[in-house]
Amino acid sequence: MAVPLFFAQMRPGTIMGKTAYLYDKIFLAHDTGLSHPECPERLIAIDDKIRSAPYYESLVKVKPSMPDLQYIKTIHTPAYLDRIRQEIEGGAQYLDSMDTEVCPRSYDVALMAAGGCLNMCDTVMSGAALYGFCAIRPPGHHAESDSAEGFCIFNNIAIAARYLQKKHALSRVAIIDWDVHHGNGTQHAFYRDNTVLYISLHQYPHFPGTGSIFEKGDGPGEGFTMNFPMNRGDGDTEYFAIFTSQIIPALNKFRPDIILISAGFDAHRADPLSSINLSTEAYGEFTVMLLDAARQCCQGKIIAFLEGGYHLTALANGVDQVMKAFTEA
């Protein structure tokens, strides 16, 4: 079966927007030790690829800054912030599990990553850019309200979603999570919330063990969590089928004010931490489909937040596919 290609069609009155890019060397200071897959070299590979691209000079450059902690506390408990700060200052090497390794600068770097994502939200909401990519680390979608998990300290995308609602008065936010691992922290943050639509495609069963098709939200949030567990060996064809038959119709029905992407690139066929067979080009196609949906419901606004991706070449090329889709839209 041939995999279809999807191309966003420009409509009369479509706003042509610039693309913003968040990156800073401060994110390299989160030292996860030798041989850890979530390493500084991930961002170096991405930034080298982006800087060498013909679109680089046209990008709106966004820088990080320390956020107002009130926005971090919309997702994480004050006790959690105090605890991890104290543990890191006390010389802890890990937070809550052996997979989330930290160094003396990790607390500040994680805050700067979250703060940079909020600056990206301001950039897009101001109209200075229409699309944005946050090349940040540590990643965020596994972080729970009161615990670190899966390389993640603060849940960047969840914090950004609440910020957009509180600071910019958006009513509805959609989060599409195509990382190969289910975003348990993001799901739990909005599980009883009908103002945030959370959609995840992920290898299942796989770390962290959540994300079954039966997890659909609770109370007022029932139906606003959509999980699509993917099987080992699935690839472009299976993912495109979910996008076309489920995700795009759900977005058209929900009509979000903005679309956020938990952009992990570890479902690529070369990634060492998964068994999904996505091509590099698939990430560009996903982005194009979401761009078309965004033009119909939220004036085109999309922000992507880096999550996983542990094969350096595949990661950099996947991000480049997303950026090409943004800059050529």
- pLDDT of res. 16: 45
- How many residues in total does the chain contain? 329
Band of the pLDDT at 17, cuts 50, 70, 90? low
Alpha-carbon span 41 to 46, nearest angstrom: 9
Structural domain harbouring 184: 25-327
pLDDT over 90 percentage in the chain: 95
In a domain, 20, yes or no: no
Q: Which residues pair with 228 in a beta bridge?
A: 201
Q: Where are the alpha helices (DSSP H) in the chain?
A: 40-51, 69-72, 78-89, 106-126, 156-166, 184-189, 236-242, 248-254, 280-297, 312-327
- pLDDT of res. 86: 98
Alpha-carbon span 54 to 96, nearest angstrom: 42
In a domain, 13, yes or no: no
Q: Which residues pair with 225 in a beta bridge?
A: 198
In the chain, DSSP finds a helix count (H) and a strand count (E) of: 10, 10
In a domain, 19, yes or no: no
Alpha-carbon span 85 to 106, nearest angstrom: 9
> The tokens of 33 are what?
């030790």
The per-residue pLDDT for range 186-232, each reduced to its tens digit, is 999 999 999 999 999 999 999 999 999 999 999 999 999 999 999 99
| Amino acid at position 167, single letter | K
In a domain, 11, yes or no: no
The per-residue pLDDT for range 53-111, each reduced to its tens digit, is 999 999 999 999 999 999 999 999 999 999 999 999 999 999 999 999 999 999 999 99
- Determine if residue 181 is left, alpha or beta; phi over 0 gives left, psi from -120 to 50 gives alpha, anything else beta: beta
The per-residue pLDDT for range 220-275, each reduced to its tens digit, is 999 999 999 999 999 999 999 999 999 999 999 999 999 999 999 999 999 999 99
By annotation, the residues acting in catalysis are: 142
In a domain, 298, yes or no: yes
The per-residue pLDDT for range 128-186, each reduced to its tens digit, is 999 999 999 999 999 999 999 999 999 999 999 999 999 999 999 999 999 999 999 99
pLDDT over 70 percentage in the chain: 95
Mean pLDDT across the chain: 95
| Amino acid at position 47, single letter | D
In a domain, 197, yes or no: yes
- pLDDT of res. 13: 34
Alpha-carbon span 255 to 117, nearest angstrom: 23
DSSP of 23-75: --GGGGG----TT-SS-HHHHHHHHHHHHTSTTGGGSEEE---PPPHHHHTTT
> The tokens of 22 are what?
């968040």
Whether residue 177 contacts residue 198, with contact meaning beta carbons closer than 8 Å, is answered with yes
In a domain, 251, yes or no: yes
205's CB contacts (< 8 A; 6+ apart) are 229
- pLDDT of res. 264: 98
In a domain, 10, yes or no: no
Give the count of domains, the chain.
Answer: 1
- 11: pLDDT strictly greater than 50: no
Whether residue 308 contacts residue 181, with contact meaning beta carbons closer than 8 Å, is answered with yes
Q: Give the strand pairing for 97-101 and 94-95.
A: antiparallel
Alpha-carbon span 203 to 57, nearest angstrom: 36
Q: How many CB atoms lie within 10 A of CB 132?
A: 29
What CATH number is given to the structural domain containing 153?
3.40.800.20
